[in-house]
Amino acid sequence: MDIEIIDYESCSAAGLNLNALRESLKQDKSGLVKNNLPHSDIDTWIGKVKEIDEVSDLKQWQSRNNALAALGLEQGELKKTLSKLVKQYGSSRVGIVMGSSTSSIDRTETAYTDLDDNGALKPQYRQSLVHNPHAPSLFVAHYTGIDGPALTINTACSSSAKVFATGARWLEYGIVDAVLVGGVDTLCLSVLHGFNSLQLLSKNPCKPFDQNRDGINLGEASGFAILQRTGEADSHTGIRLAGYGESSDAYHMSHPHPDGLGARLSMTQALTRAKLSPDAIEYINLHGTSSRANDMIEGQLIADLFPRSTICSSTKAWMGHTLGAAGITEAIITMDALRTQFIPGSKNLETLDETLDFTIQAASQSKSCQHVMTNSFGFGGNNCTLLFSKVN
C-alpha cells in the first residue's frame, strides 16, 4: 500500500487544533467537564467544545454538527492544502469520505422542540440537506467547494476510522487523486440519554482499563486528514497508511463479541495488509472506552496477539468518547506519535484490571516509533484497525 497522509488536524475538548491537543496531552490536561448540556440533568462528565457556539453564520446549513465540522476545517493548513490539490487536479478529482454516528440530529432535536403553532417545522428548520444521514459530507463539500465523490460512513464508533480504508481504496483504484477523510460528531440529548439508558455513563471522569472503571464519558470532536498516493504529494508529513483491517461480527447491537472475534480479525487483517508481524508494532492507541466489557475483551486480545514490548494506551480521558469522530481523533493522536516521538499515557489509570496483563501505564513517555496502530470498535460489531508507519 502506497498511501501517504499529507496533512491532518483535530478539534475536540482537549484542544481546538492539533497544537493545542499536543499541549493538552503533554500537560496531562483533560477537557472533560461536569455535564452542562442544556435540558440534561444526567450526572456525568462530557467533552464539550465551547467554541462551537461562535459558529452561527452557516445559514441553511446551520447545525451544531456542521458548525464543528466548519470549526475543524479552519484549523491549521487544511484549507490551504485542499486549495493546492483542487488547483492541481481539479475539484472533481478530490474525494470526501466522512464518518459520523449522529450527523445533524442535534438540529432535528431543536426543530421538534420549536414547532410553530400548527405543529409544523418553522422555516429556519426546513433543511433537507441537514436533517439527513449524509449531512456531514454534503456540508463539507459545500464548505470546501470539492465536488468529487462524497460518502458518509455510519458504523457507530468505527465510522471515522473506516474513512481511511475507503479513501485508500479510492486512491488505489484511481477514482480520485486525493481524498479528504474526516469525522464529526456532536453532543446531543439523543446520544447522551441513549447511552444513559444503556447504563454506560460514568458519574466520574472515565478510567479506561482500570480495575474500578464504571463507565464512559461522551464527547464531541471533528478531525480531518488528507490522503494521496505516495510519490504524488508536494507536502509531506512523513507518515503513510501502512495497513487497515475491517470486520463486522454482528454479535449484538451494543455488546462486543465475548471472544472478540471481529476485533481480532480487524487487527490481524491490518498486520497482514502491512506485511508486519505483531512485534513490529511499537504503540497501540486502544479503543478503550472505560466500559467493563469493551476494555476487558480488547485487553485480553492485545495480551494474546502482541508482545509486552508493545506500548498501549487509551486517550479517551482527555476528550471523552467522541463516537463517530473517535476513529479519526485517535488516528491523529496515533500517527502524530510518529512525528512528535511522544506517546500519551492512559489518563486516570491507577490499578490495571486484574484480569488483564499487557503493557499499559498512566504516564506518557518519549519514544521514536516506526509502526503504530489504533483500534476503533463500534456497536453492532463494526470494527476497524489502522496501522501507520514512517515513510522510508
Active-site amino acid positions: 157, 287, 321
Q: What does the DSSP assignment read for 191-238?
A: HHHHHHHTT-B-SS---TTBTT---B-EE-EEEEEEEEETTS-SS--S
**11 three-state secondary structure:** strand
How far is 268 from 161, CA to CA, in rounded Å?
A: 16
Q: Are 373 and 270 in contact (CB under 8 A)?
A: yes
H helices of 238-291, where? 261-274
How far is 98 from 199, CA to CA, in rounded Å?
A: 29
Q: Are 153 and 97 in contact (CB under 8 A)?
A: yes
How far is 275 from 278, CA to CA, in rounded Å?
A: 10
Residue 291, phi then psi, degrees to nearest 5: -85, 155
Residue from 327, 63, 347, 10 nearest 207 by CA: 347
**Amino acid of residue 44:** T
- Burial state string for 316-349 with b = 16 or more CB within 10 A and e = fewer than 16: bbbbbbbbbbbbbbbbbbbbbbbeeebbbbbbbb
> Cell triple for residue 11?
478539534
Q: Are 65 and 102 in contact (CB under 8 A)?
A: yes
Residue 113, phi then psi, degrees to nearest 5: -100, 5
Residue 111, phi then psi, degrees to nearest 5: -60, -40
> Cell triple for residue 21?
491537543
Pairing relation of β-strands 33-34 and 45-47? antiparallel
> In the Cβ-directed half-sphere of 362, how many Cα atoms lie within 13 Å?
10
Q: Are 290 and 353 in contact (CB under 8 A)?
A: no
